[in-house]
Each structure stands twice: as C-alpha cells, then as structure tokens.
Amino acid sequence: MGRFLLRRALLAVPILWGAATLAFLGLHIVPGGIAQAILGQHASAAAIAQIRHQLGLDQPLYVQYARFLMSAATGHYGISFRTHDSVATDIGQALPYTIQLSCAALLLALVLGIPSGAVAAAREGSLVDTALSSGVLVGVSMPVFWTGLLLIIAGAAKLGWFPISGALTPGVIVPHVTGMPVVDAALAGDPAALGDAVVHLALPAIALSLYPLAFIAQMTRAALVEALGEDYVRTARAKGLSARVTVLHHGLRAALIPVVAVVGLQLGGLLSGAILTETVFAIPGIGWLTVNAILFRDYPVVEGVVVVTVALFVLVNLLADVTYAVVDPRVRY
C-alpha cells in the first residue's frame, strides 16, 4: 500500500503540470486580453500597452510561463487582476462554499441512490424497477443548469419555499470558522442562521445531486442484480433466510464495493459541475469565481483554480482507491 500511495503521489505531479500548462496556454491563445477588459473597448493603444507592461503581459510567453510555474510550485499564484487580492486568498474564501455544496449533493446522491438501486434490483422486472430505471435515465440526461432553472421556477418563484440565490440571506451573519455557512452556523449554535443556510443550500444541492444520484442508483442496481445471482446468496435463501435479510446482509454488502469505487469519481465530477450550479444560483464558490475570472481574463485566478481543482480531484480519487482496498480485502495494490 505504501508503494502504491507513493506511486500515485508521484503520478500527480505530471497531471498537475499538464492541467496547469493547458490552462495557461488556453488563456493566452484566445483573442482579447485583460488590458482591454480593464480599460474598455475604446481604450487607446498607448493605455493598453501601459497596462500590459504593468501586469507583465508584454513579456515573452515563455517568461510568463516560467513565472507561472514557479508561483504554482510554491502555492502562490500571484495577485488577482480583478480584485487586487492574493489569488490564494480568493480561492480560500470561495473553496468552502464549493466543498459544502459538493458534499451536500454527494450525501443526497448516496442516501437516495443506494436505496433506490437496491429496491429496483430486489424487484427486478417489476413496475417499480421500470419506474426507477426511467427516473435514472431522466436524471442522467438533464443538464445541471436546466435542472437548476426548473427548481428556481418551481421552488422559489412559484411556491416561494426557497430563496432564489445566494448562500445566506443579507443581514444573516455567522462566525467565520470553516467558511461553510451550514457548518459555521451549527458550530455557533444559531438555529435561525442554520435554518437559513440549509434553505439556501437545498435547491443547489438537489440540482447538483441528480446526475450522481442516478449514476449511483444504476450502479447499485446492476451490482446487486449480479450479487443476488451468486451461489452464496442462493444458499442463504435455501437455508430459510428472508428476502430482506438476504438482500441487505449478503447481496448489498457485496454490491457496494463497485459503488465505493465510483464515489470518488462522482465527487470529482461534482467539483466541476458546481461551476454551472453556482453560476445559476449565484453562490460565491469556486465556480462563481472561475466564471468571473474567465470573463475578466483574470489569468492568475483561472490558473490557480485549475491547479487547486485538479489537486483536489487527484486527492479524492486517491482516497477512493484506499477506501476501496479497505472495503474489499481482496484488493491488493
């Protein structure tokens, strides 16, 4: 296991380098520039040249690339062109919102997806199985931004049960401990603030959870159907165990092994899906920060977000591999 972890850690280095390089080249190749975004469409050539010189954008591309790699290697991505704050500070303020949203969506996906898949597998071929399978297809097919808009129209505009956007109601203040409003409100012991934070989180979490929920339900159903056909399950039924005990204690335990393997991938996908969700619901997370940085051509912020997001993705998948080995002792790395 130690050699496996070391190998994966070393493999993360070229992955991070490749992602950072693609982000750097993509931002510098596309037309337009930060100087034009700062000064406007009618800025003079002299003013644009002055801004480019102040920001170091008039230097050769390889010089800017070397400076970027040195900054990324030390964890200092420079100063945001838009906010004039440290990029690390901007990311540190936005990341807790994304982590909160992603974890809430994954929790919903697991709590609802695994039982749905188990029920469908236990009643394979029935009307319940068909209905759940159809729901899975709908969940996989609907884009997260479209789901978010539908939820806003139904839950916020029509029914008025949920707020349309934001992470907290203006005027509601919670002590900053983790940066996650729900957690901070719970730590502060403030029920009113906690309820406000949960209500604001509900619609974005539902919208973001539908795809992983459908995927996990599908994986659980397929794995459980296969497990229920194994000899040890048929033996358990022959010994007189009830269908419920057979499914829960024999079939589902084995079926969860492949589900654990894909949870890490789903969490990584949630981090990227949060970009659209946070944009639709105006949540000040990594997605919201990234969209604004791209529109403003804020190179340091975009490059820093890419490196941090890829690092989180690699870390989550590494933890998933380790968990997989713990759940299934037959796995050896």
Q: What is the per-residue pLDDT across 148-165, written as a single tens digit (0 to 9) for each?
A: 888 888 877 777 788 888
Over 60: is that where the pLDDT of 333 sits? no
pLDDT tens across 98-142, in order?
A: 889 988 988 888 888 888 888 887 777 778 778 887 877 777 777
- Which amino acid, 67? R
b/e map 246-280, b = 16+ CB within 10 Å: bbeebbbebbbebbbbbbbebbbbbbebbbbbbbb
Q: What is the pLDDT of residue 151?
A: 85
**What residues pair up with 86 in beta bridges, in sequence order?**
79
Mean pLDDT of 202-220: 86
Nearest CA to 219 out of 173, 261, 267 is that of 261
Q: Look at residue 188 in the predicted model and tell me its pLDDT.
A: 87
pLDDT band at residue 2 under the 50/70/90 scheme: low
Predicted local distance difference test score (pLDDT) of residue 210: 85
Instruction: List, for residues 179-206, the tens digit of each pLDDT value.
Output: 888 888 888 888 888 988 898 888 899 8
**Does the structure show a pLDDT above 80 at 55?**
no
**What whole-number distance in Å separates Cα of residue 225 and Cα of residue 254?**
11
Report which residue type is found at 55: L
Q: Where in the chain is the domain with CATH 1.10.3720.10?
A: 93-327
Give residue-wise pLDDT tens across range 225-261: 777 776 666 676 666 666 666 666 666 777 777 777 7
Q: Which two tokens stand for residue 71?
A: 């900054």
**The total number of residues written for the chain in this structure:** 333
Q: Which CATH superfamily is domain 93-327 in?
A: MetI-like (1.10.3720.10)
pLDDT of res. 73: 73
Residue labelled with tokens 């993360």? 12
- For residue 249, what is the DSSP state? I
Cα separation of 146 and 165, whole Å? Answer: 15
- Cβ neighbours, 10 Å, residue 288: 20
Rg of the Cα trace of the chain? Answer: 24
pTM beyond 0.85: the answer is no
Mean pLDDT, rounded, of the chain: 78
Do the Cβ atoms of 152 and 280 come closer than 8 Å?
yes
Per-residue confidence (pLDDT) for residue 241, from 0 to 100: 63
Confidence of residue 310 (pLDDT cuts 50, 70, 90): confident
pLDDT in tens, 21-41: 887 777 676 665 666 666 666
User: Given this model, what pLDDT does residue 32 score?
Assistant: 58
Q: How far is CA 49 from CA 45, 80, 270, in A?
A: 6, 19, 40
Beta bridge partners of 79: 86
pLDDT of 286 reads 87
pLDDT at 131: 82
Q: What is the pLDDT of residue 315?
A: 79
Residue pair 184/225 in contact by the 8 Å Cβ criterion: no
